[in-house]
Chain A
Amino acid sequence: MMENMKSPRIAYGEALAELGEKNEKVVVLDADLAHATQTAMFAERFKDRFFNMGIAEQNLMGVAAGLALSGFIPFASTFAIFGAGRAFEQIRNTICYPNSLNVKIAVTHAGITVGEDGGSHQAVEDISLMRSLPNMTVMVPCDAVETKKAVFAASRIEGPVYIRIARPVAPIITSEEYDFEPGRAKVVKEGSDAAIFATGLMVAKALEAAAELENRGISASVVNIHTIKPLDVETILREAGKTKKVITVEEHSIIGGLGSAVAEVLIENMPVKMKRIGINDTFGQSGTPDELLQHYGLTAENIIESVKEML
């Protein structure tokens, strides 16, 4: 099957430029990565509402907070590692703590699919950091179409939102008509033997795995958890309850991310057999995105093996 492909970060740039047209309160800040994060698309059209802060991410977050306090809706962009990582305490103390300031932290180049730049640039802890902050909404769109929907949805949420956006060209698996609702997970495939909860680029891998499992007579459901916080507990319990076998898949450390979030829900409500697929408490390294996904066990084949082991 030839899929429609597009990079989520390109979709982010396009969404921002479109949003800028519709909402003049939207301002965008970047830290010398406008051509990588694609905020340059907004900058070209709305020069007065774009602020390059230079390579200074801590100040980036603080200035965004000040603009939010002036009634604007700032989108602060950089790579995930520098946003959630380097400026963590600024996000905590200057954005979340004060009054749930209306700052959108939209970061690209998340996870190991950053690729060749290597481990220093591959954020695999950001979901964990961001979801531990009170008042924060955490979204991880699965493809280019969902990325655009997440950006528009974030602009309508009053309060801080972290949007984790991937770098590489990736298959489009959602449709323009799809009704994206923050905090409401989407069952993208029904199944009765096992439930696969996936987020970000791993949703496509999970769908690929489920299709292959179907060929082998195993019925696995796939749930797109695009919002890690607030987590859709209802859908998770419903889908886990149907199969009593759960697999989580994320391009993130298995410590503190989607797997942990789902485990927290299940252990208190409905302990079932569970397996977390993700980066196994290690750092990334250089390589092509596909090589890295293979190396760290984030392929459809890995998901298939995990499901079979569990049955």
Chain B
Amino acid sequence: MNLEELKDISKTVRQDIIRMIGKAGSGHPGGSLSMVEILVSLYYRVMNIKPEDPWWEDRDRLVLSKGHGCPALYSVLAHKGYFGTDKLVTLRRLGSILQGHPDMKKTPGIDASTGSLGQGLSVAVGMALGAKLKKKSYKVFCVIGDGEMQEGQIWEALMASIHYRLDNLTIILDHNKLQIDGPNDVVMSLGNIKDRMIAFGFNVYDVDGHDFDVLINTLRADNVPGRPKFVIANTVKGKGVSFMENQVGWHGKAPNAEEVKQALIELGGEI
């Protein structure tokens, strides 16, 4: 899949996010839109997967620790063929396979149930440790949020990933700089994340989280032996919808019918 096609699928995923959350009447558009390029890169160009066999033992794994961004992941999984795209509109409805936060027992392609912030990275560490123990070569990817880094458990897991030299683990920070109550640095400063991660011992990349070339090269690059990779993906919260971009208010609010229409026009989608 070439760059233009990746951009097209990203546009479709963004349209899906707007339609799904609009229809559900609740959800998290800002942090879903910010990580579209990250997920499209992973599922279309980086990860070794078999959508027809979601539990294939040798597959690469993705743990979406910032589980509230799941509409983006659901859309990508549907377009990859894990389940029908017709399911997308059932998001958050009673009995749906698409829960408000990722549920591995309901959704094909979800490798770990997440949503309670700070917990997914530990599971990814366990998976990476498990792969080492089984002498399997699959890789584990974990997307975390910047606000999520305020959870103490994240730092416990970071420590463990370094201690156990998990070079089969790649942590991707969707760094959109905003959280529910405001900018990260106003709510609880994260300091210089890059310096902190270098000090921890990570193989650190600081990249544009919406640039496919850079993202794909970074995510595909071999890890330094014995070191996990930490990718700071600098993103824009609400990316692609002008009135949502960099707006704290769109963290966890559904667009109304008029807003859905306007967003879809901007994204070149059918209304």
Q: A residues engaging B (CB < 8 A)?
A: 27, 48-49, 51, 53-54, 56, 58-59, 61-72, 74, 89-90, 93-94, 97-99
Determine whether the beta carbon of A65 is less than 8 Å from that of B122: yes
B94 within 8 A of A: no
Q: Which residues of A contact B104 (CB under 8 A)?
A: 98-99
A308 CA to B157 CA in the complex, in Å?
54
B170 within 8 A of A: no
Which of A58, A59, A98 is close to B105, meaning CB atoms less than 8 Å apart?
A98
Main SS at interface, chain B? helix
Known A66-B122, A70-B126: A56·B159 in contact at CB below 8 Å: yes
B160 within 8 A of A: yes
Which of A48, A64, A66 is close to B128, meaning CB atoms less than 8 Å apart?
A66
Question: Which residues in window 9-49 of B have CB below 8 A to A?
Answer: none
Determine whether the beta carbon of B130 is less than 8 Å from that of A93: no
B112 within 8 A of A: yes
Determine whether the beta carbon of A69 is less than 8 Å from that of B131: no
Which of A27, A63, A71, A99 is close to B160, meaning CB atoms less than 8 Å apart?
A63
Which of A51, A65, A71 is close to B164, meaning CB atoms less than 8 Å apart?
A51
A-B pairs, top 5 by smallest CB distance, nearest first, are A66-B126, A62-B122, A70-B130, A59-B156, A98-B113
Known A-B contacts: A62-B125, A66-B126. Give 5 more (CB < 8 A): A59-B153, A59-B157, A66-B125, A70-B129, A71-B134
Known A54-B159, A66-B127, A67-B129: A99·B122 in contact at CB below 8 Å: no
Determine whether the beta carbon of B113 is less than 8 Å from that of A90: no
A74 CA to B84 CA in the complex, in Å?
35
Which of A49, A51, A61 is close to B122, meaning CB atoms less than 8 Å apart?
A61
Which of B116, B118, B133 has the largest count of A CB atoms less than 10 A from its CB?
B133
Determine whether the beta carbon of A48 is less than 8 Å from that of B133: yes
Which of B126, B134, B163 is close to A64, meaning CB atoms less than 8 Å apart?
B126
Q: Which residues of A contact B124 (CB under 8 A)?
A: 66
Question: Which residues in window 117-151 of B have CB below 8 A to A?
Answer: 118-131, 133-134
Main SS at interface, chain A? helix
Q: Which residues of A contact B105 (CB under 8 A)?
A: 98-99
A24 and chain B: residue at smallest CB distance: B133
A56 CA to B157 CA in the complex, in Å?
9
| Range of interface residues on B (Cβ < 8 Å) | 20 to 34
Known A49-B133, A51-B129, A59-B156: A98·B103 in contact at CB below 8 Å: yes
Q: Which residues of B contact A53 (CB under 8 A)?
A: 156, 160
B152 within 8 A of A: yes
A99 CA to B130 CA in the complex, in Å?
18
User: Could you tell me the distance in whole angstroms from the C-beta of A39 to the nearest C-beta in chain B?
Assistant: 16
User: Could you tell me the distance in whole angstroms from the C-beta of A92 to the nearest C-beta in chain B?
Assistant: 8
User: Could you tell me the distance in whole angstroms from the C-beta of A23 to the nearest C-beta in chain B?
Assistant: 14
Q: Can you name 10 A-B pairs with beta carbons within 8 Å?
A: A59-B125, A59-B160, A61-B122, A63-B122, A70-B127, A72-B133, A74-B126, A90-B153, A94-B119, A98-B104
Which of B125, B159, B164 has the largest count of A CB atoms less than 10 A from its CB?
B125
A54 CA to B157 CA in the complex, in Å?
11
Question: Which residues in window 192-243 of B have CB below 8 A to A?
Answer: none
Known A59-B153, A61-B122, A90-B119: A66·B130 in contact at CB below 8 Å: yes
B131 and chain A: residue at smallest CB distance: A70
B103 and chain A: residue at smallest CB distance: A98
Question: Which residues in window 93-115 of B have CB below 8 A to A?
Answer: 103-105, 111-113, 115
A62 CA to B127 CA in the complex, in Å?
10
Known A66-B122, A71-B134, A99-B105: A58·B153 in contact at CB below 8 Å: yes
Q: Which residues of A contact B152 (CB under 8 A)?
A: 58
A72 and chain B: residue at smallest CB distance: B130
Q: Which residues of A contact B126 (CB under 8 A)?
A: 62-70, 74
Q: Which residues of A contact B111 (CB under 8 A)?
A: 69
Which of A48, A94, A97 has the largest count of B CB atoms less than 10 A from its CB?
A94
Q: Which residues of B contact A68 (CB under 8 A)?
A: 126
User: Could you tell me the distance in whole angstroms from the C-beta of B199 to the nearest C-beta in chain A?
Assistant: 18
A71 CA to B116 CA in the complex, in Å?
23
Which of A58, A59, A72 has the largest count of B CB atoms less than 10 A from its CB?
A59
A99 CA to B123 CA in the complex, in Å?
13
Determine whether the beta carbon of A70 is less than 8 Å from that of B153: no
Known A70-B133, A72-B133: A93·B125 in contact at CB below 8 Å: no
Q: What 1/0 flags go to B153-182 for Cβ under 8 Å of A? A: 100110110011000000000000000000
